[in-house]
A = this chain, B = another copy of it.
Amino acid sequence: MIRTEPSVADHLQNSQKIPARTRKADISRERVLGAAAKIFAERGYAGTTMRAVADRVGLQAASIYYHYRSKEDLIEAVIGTALVGVSQAVHLAVASLPASASGRDRIDSAIFAHLTSVLTFGDYALASRRVLGQIPAHVRRKHVALRDAYGNFWLELLESARVGGELRGDIDLHLARTFILGALNSALEWYKPQGKALHEIASQFSLLIDEGIFAQTRK
């Protein structure tokens, strides 16, 4: 991932139908959002001050209010960007498989897309993961619903693989789902673009999720 921020910018433009010729306001608005994502991720919701965000982009705190109405608006934009972005990427990846794809193909594709997009969204995803529980209840509600809908998509993925007889019969699918997402999201905490290539990490995770850590000792 050499270009992290640009992808997020693209997402914002696409989802808001903004003309390609970005104006000054859009540039500032997006720089503020990126700075906010990083600081929210590092210090939590209450620990993030408008002054700290402003400092990071060379503005005065008051200037942020030209772009965002409040701190709540800011965190909402950060979380929304990550949640919608990841969800869209994964849906798209799975939907673009041929009809003949097996359950395992679909799950592996979802694993790859989830890991890739979560790491691409970097600070946005991290902020989303870390502060969703800290924000005011009326702001949280909508995003929790989004996250739950995404979780539901994974459950269906697992259910259809089980119907196809591919999945083990002795595991609880709800539990398997949180297990998978928990493991994938934990990559956010340590992944560094300088390390192992993203596709390598993704295929290792696929292997671990699909077949486990032990050699063929299945009884």
Contact = CB atoms under 8 A, between A and B. Distances in A.
A181 interface: yes
Interface string A162-204: 0001111111100110111111011101100000100001001
Nearest to A175: B204
Number of copies: 2
Contacts of A44: 43-47, 131, 134
A145 interface: no
Contacts of A107: 213
Contacts of A209: 212-213
B134 A171 contact: no
Interface of A: 42-47, 104, 107, 130-131, 133-134, 158, 165-172, 175-176, 178-183, 185-187, 189-190, 196, 201, 204-205, 207-218
